[in-house]
Structure 1
Amino acid sequence: MTTDIGAAVSARGLTKRYGATTALHGLDLDIPRGSVFGMIGPNGAGKTTTMRLLLDIIRPTAGELSVLGRSPRDGGAALRRRIGYLPGELHLGTRVKGREFLAHYAEISGPVRKGAVDDLADRLGVDLGRPVRSLSKGNKQKIGLIQAFMHEPELLVLDEPTSGLDPLVQQEFHAMLHEARAAGQTVFLSSHVLSEVQQTAHEIAILKQGRIVERSTVAALRENAVRHVKVVVAEADAAAARAVLDALPGVQGVAATTNGAGTAALSATLDTHVDAFVKAVARLDLVDLTIEEPDLEEMVLAYYGTDVSAGADAEPAADEPEVVR
């Protein structure tokens, strides 16, 4: 097998072992240029290991890897200047002020458009005149985002990018991602929270213990996700309504409750058989009907069972450089 050099990121059989522990098991991955691609998985699933391999911070045990048409190992500093990277564990202990810190990384990353740093600082709401070490976790994260975005790289690699950010800043970050994609940049971001990527990513890979267990568009995931439904009928019609629900394909866990006002509520979960469900319950004498939005979090958790903590093949912890180019 060979990697797709036309993709922003392409991997075949990518494997990483730390002694007896395998963090990645033969990963195959293609990320199209100009897309926003999200990788979902609990801590220890292998997300950070994958991203470090792209930056040549660590090197694969086996497999092939191409980033922007180059091998990370051969591309060197020239390739890294085409990438904006935000590590998942951002350690910023420097005494220098935010503006000086970013000026230093601007010299490393390459040309930065005049005014770009101030524009990003204004959007994210961070004071560049303060020493970096004095900033809160959220404001340090903003500094990390600025250094990743400021040189408008071809590829953005963002590991848990909204960690420590308040909801309003998260929305601004999402707008930045949409703008990056519109400008032709490629974004590869990771998270253990599905809602963080479903607002911005077109395609998602679900990672479990170093293996991709599902890859799909957000739209397809929504179509296949479980919905919670509730049918309210007159109490006298409850038995007949339950019989209808029990006979329908895709309906599970039917439970009935009465409210003392002469009605009964039947709750259940529903998979993709929405059309059959709606046509069947339309023949009932309904008091109320609720079909909730698909719960993507619930669907993703089904891949992990009840335990979403680091698995047996979790990637070992490692010290993260402050900011890596």
Structure 2
Amino acid sequence: MTILQINHLSKSFGKFQALNDVNLSIQKGEIFGFIGPNGAGKSTTIRILLGILKPTAGSASIFGMNVWKESVDIHKRIAYVPGDANLWPNLTGGEVIDLFLKLRGSKNPDKKQELIEKFQLDPTKKCRTYSKGNRQKVALVAAFASDAELFILDEPTSGLDPLMERVFQEYVLKAKAEGKSVLLSSHILSEVERLCDRVAIIRQGEIIESGSLDDMRHLTRTNLIVETKEPLNGIRDVQGVHEVVETEKGTSLQVDAEALDLVIKKVSSLGILRLESTPPTLEDLFMRHYEGTGSDRT
């Protein structure tokens, strides 16, 4: 079941093209990663999904409803956490959480208390005294304590320490287990890789790769460390071999997927003493797409 659908979405600010023909969909019970550098178009896309911006062309729907025309009904069923939560300075964290839950009609005091304890939040302090990390905790507690069907999380762990990031990941996976859907925009590629079922990479307002991590890894290079009985001469000249470096452990190199068989045959003929293979990561893919490129979108 499709929860979120974006079709040929474009957004211009005057002559500036912020988004160009963006397409993506999120299914029920799926965690979808939305990644790209600052200015790639992630936040513009999310603002359109929240009904804050009107698209120039194309369409976007959540629960089958138009995000611009039916945003009020959509917001009753979603939870949004921004990268920097702005809270009412004179209210306590607990009062803000209760306000958000009351606006949604949610009543689950046990879950709220569990989240407050897990995130180590002091709900009695005024929001003006909170650090950035504690403001994020308030927003995350309010989101996960709700009965939302879709979570839109835009850099949600900004300001959190590694321990709290793990707590966040735990509750994202719990939401998935309950059949809820998550759109996660994050700079932390290891977090996206750990949590997400599918990923879309956006660059300069366009989706340049989309799919499961397994689908996308064919575009990345495998990292090898090789030590052989005979000198590994000529390996730099093999088509598909990159970044050959001599290390204490042996020769380190990156190999395109299509060249892996040829490289293994070559090193086998030289007598393998050591062979370590590291599978490509999301960071490898991301950096390969962004190497030498820049962007100025929002």
TM-score for the superposition, normalised by structure 2 = 0.92
Equivalent pair of 2:84/2:132 in contact (CA under 8 Å): no
Which amino acid is the alignment partner of residue 233 of structure 2?
R
2:267 maps to which residue? 281
Which amino acid is the alignment partner of residue 250 of structure 2?
A
Aligned residue-pair number = 297
CA separation in 2, counterparts of 1:114 and 1:248?
63
Q: 1:91 to 1:277 in 2, by over 3 A?
A: same
- Write out aligned runs for 1:231-310 (5 A): 231-234=226-229, 237-238=230-231, 241-243=232-234, 245-246=235-236, 248-256=238-246, 265-272=250-257, 273-308=259-294
CA separation in 2, counterparts of 1:151 and 1:173?
15
- Write out aligned runs for 1:73-84 (5 A): 73-84=68-79
- Write out aligned runs for 1:156-175 (5 A): 156-175=151-170
Equivalent pair of 1:116/1:150 in contact (CA under 8 Å): yes
TM-score for the superposition, normalised by structure 1 = 0.85
Equivalent pair of 1:242/1:254 in contact (CA under 8 Å): no
Mean alpha-carbon deviation: is it higher for 179-188 or for 192-201? Answer: 192-201
Which amino acid is the alignment partner of residue 206 of structure 2?
R
CA separation in 2, counterparts of 1:117 and 1:76?
26
2:84 maps to which residue? 89
Mean alpha-carbon deviation: is it higher for 294-303 or for 75-84? Answer: 294-303
1:321 maps to which residue? none
Give deviations 1:40-69, integer Å, cap 9, x for gaps: 100111111111111101111111111111
Equivalent pair of 1:48/1:88 in contact (CA under 8 Å): no
Q: Secondary structure at the residue paired with 2:98? A: helix
1:196 maps to which residue? 191
- Write out aligned runs for 1:115-134 (5 A): 115-134=110-129
Which amino acid is the alignment partner of residue 188 of structure 2?
V
Q: Percent identity of the aligned residues?
A: 34
2:46 to 42, 45, 51: 51
Question: Structure 1 stretches of 5 or more lacking a match?
Answer: 1-5, 316-325
Mean alpha-carbon deviation: is it higher for 141-150 or for 297-306? Answer: 297-306
Which amino acid is the alignment partner of residue 282 of structure 2?
L
Mean alpha-carbon deviation: is it higher for 157-166 or for 143-152? Answer: 143-152
Shift of 1:74: 2.8
Question: Structure 2 stretches of 5 or more lacking a match?
Answer: none
Which amino acid is the alignment partner of residue 130 of structure 1?
K
CA separation in 1, counterparts of 2:218 and 2:58?
34
1:212 to 197, 207, 210: 207
Shift of 1:77: 2.3
Equivalent pair of 1:121/1:146 in contact (CA under 8 Å): yes
Mean alpha-carbon deviation: is it higher for 89-98 or for 32-41? Answer: 89-98
Name which one, 1 or 2, has greater alpha-carbon Rg: 1
CA separation in 1, counterparts of 2:18 and 2:85?
21
Asked whether 1:153 is paired with 2:143, we answer no
2:101 maps to which residue? 106
